[in-house]
């Protein structure tokens, strides 16, 4: 931190108490974050999702198609926490307008956070009353800029850097002896998870292969018929369609059974 920190908006001298990093400018009222290397604007996103609604969104996600069947019934919720999580917000200038690049500003196992959409209109001046719920950044701006550079965003293309605190519910739950974490982003209700009990794909693939093999075999019947003459072809087609129609029911039952079990 430089000895003399100045406001990003009006240039007035800031007078933080020792160790204070979230500062409101006494001159213009702008909220800023005092990083080791520079002073940047500090924003917060307002939550629109209550704790009950977040639990409902979690249950819906667990009952959805990405997770293992009946996860909403079998998972045991261990903890729910709410906090404002810090993200580095980089506005990258492009040929047409801007692209926003996000990087977590504190340790997290959920790298999905980078893929959040933060419309500029959702960014509000950070209010100091959030201090008690806001996680302090531990990733310096320079480290985040280095990361962005590795992702193909050079420093000179970054038009603006800011710190944004986003509202997050963190749910920890147990399933089959393991603990998992799912976040509900409380502005949009979007679930975020890197690791979760996922549907097994193998049974679906096996059912698909069996179905394909049966119909491929049946398709050969008229092909053999062609080699044996016109009447045999007609018979072959009849056999093919007849057996095909017969095979549909058990194959459909197999697919339904897999869908119900997995």
Residue 17 has what DSSP assignment?
A: P
Applying CB under 5 A, which residues contact Zn ion? 7, 9-10, 12, 25, 27-28, 30
> Dihedral of the CA atoms 108, 111, 114, 117 (nearest 10)?
-100
Least distance in Å: CB of 27 to Zn ion? 5
Buried b (16+ CB within 10 A) or exposed e, 123-138: beebeeeeeeebbebe
**Strand-strand pairing, 22-24 and 31-34:** antiparallel
Least distance in Å: CB of 66 to Zn ion? 45
- For Zn ion, the closer of residues 27 and 38 by Cβ is 27
- For Zn ion, the closer of residues 39 and 62 by Cβ is 39
- Residue 94 in contact with residue 225, Cβ under 8 Å? no
- For Zn ion, the closer of residues 9 and 211 by Cβ is 9
Least distance in Å: CB of 7 to Zn ion? 3
- For Zn ion, the closer of residues 27 and 194 by Cβ is 27
- For Zn ion, the closer of residues 29 and 119 by Cβ is 29
Cα separation of 35 and 41, whole Å?
10
**Strand-strand pairing, 39-45 and 158-175:** parallel
Least distance in Å: CB of 9 to Zn ion? 5
Sign of CA dihedral 191, 193, 197, 202: positive
Least distance in Å: CB of 17 to Zn ion? 17
């Amino acid at each position: 931190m430089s000895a003399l920190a100045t406001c990003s908006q009006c240039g007035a001298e800031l007078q933080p108490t020792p160790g204070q990093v979230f500062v409101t400018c006494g001159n213009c009222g702008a909220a800023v974050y005092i990083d080791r290397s520079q002073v940047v604007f500090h924003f917060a996103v307002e939550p629109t999702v209550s704790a009950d609604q977040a639990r409902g969104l979690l249950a819906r996600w667990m009952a959805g198609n990405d997770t293992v069947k009946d996860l909403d019934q079998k998972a045991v919720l261990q903890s729910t926490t709410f906090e404002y999580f810090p993200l580095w917000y980089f506005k990258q200038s492009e040929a047409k307008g801007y692209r926003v690049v996000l990087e977590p500003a504190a340790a997290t196992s959920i790298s999905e956070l980078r893929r959040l959409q933060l419309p500029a209109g959702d960014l509000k001046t950070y209010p100091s009353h959030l201090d008690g719920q806001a996680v302090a950044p531990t990733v310096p701006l320079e480290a985040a800029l280095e990361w962005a550079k590795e992702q193909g965003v050079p420093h000179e293309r970054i038009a603006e850097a800011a710190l944004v605190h986003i509202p997050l519910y963190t749910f920890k739950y147990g399933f089959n002896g393991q603990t998992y974490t799912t976040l509900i982003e409380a502005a949009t209700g979007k679930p975020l998870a890197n690791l979760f009990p996922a549907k097994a794909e193998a049974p679906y693939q096996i059912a698909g292969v069996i179905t394909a093999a049966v119909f491929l075999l049946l398709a050969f019947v008229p092909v053999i018929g062609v080699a044996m003459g016109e009447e045999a072809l007609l018979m072959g087609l009849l056999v093919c369609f007849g057996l095909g129609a017969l095979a549909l029911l058990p194959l459909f039952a197999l697919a339904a059974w897999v869908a119900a079990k997995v």
